[in-house]
Amino acid sequence: MLNEGLGGKYASVDKDGNVSLNATEKQIAGFSDEQKGLYDTINGDVTISVSEGSDSVIIGSYALEEIDISDVENFGTGEGANKFSAFGHEVKEQQSKQSEGKGYPEAHADGEAAEKSITGYTR
């Protein structure tokens, strides 16, 4: 899904489930604004569990540090909010929590701000 959003094979997952990004500067220079927004948003250290069809998580959970990828996929790829912005929101929210110790309202606001850079739209 990330590679679809980035427009190429720039994200890879190792055997332990660690995701790394590996676009070169030249490749990044060729990104659209939305691709660059997604890349910049998810490019950082964060630990998040990914579930599929979780009963306890809707899209993502600040408290559980979890993303339900089925819910994210349901956003689709249209203009405005889409699966990439939904994913980026949750990742940014966790970065703000885990790296900066922000509480839910602040971290969630950071997630919303990140969405704008990914969709190019304000909601």
Q: Which is nearer to Zn ion, 66 or 93 (CB)?
A: 93
Does 37 engage in binding with Zn ion (CB under 5 A)?
no
Does 93 engage in binding with Zn ion (CB under 5 A)?
yes
Does 108 engage in binding with Zn ion (CB under 5 A)?
yes
Residue span binding Zn ion (CB under 5 A) among the ranges 39-47, 72-80, 86-94, 113-121:
86-94
Does 88 engage in binding with Zn ion (CB under 5 A)?
no
Q: What DSSP line would sit under 7-50, residue for residue?
A: TSS-EEE-TT--EEE---HHHHHTS-HHHHHHHHHH-S----EE
Three-class DSSP category at 81: coil
Work out how close the CB of 109 gets to Zn ion at its nearest, in angstroms, rounded to a whole number: 8
Q: What is the dihedral of CA 79, 83, 88, 94, to 10 degrees?
A: 140
Give the containing element (helix H, strand E) for 51: strand 49-51
Q: Which is nearer to Zn ion, 7 or 65 (CB)?
A: 65
Residue span binding Zn ion (CB under 5 A) among the ranges 42-50, 69-77, 95-103, 111-119:
111-119
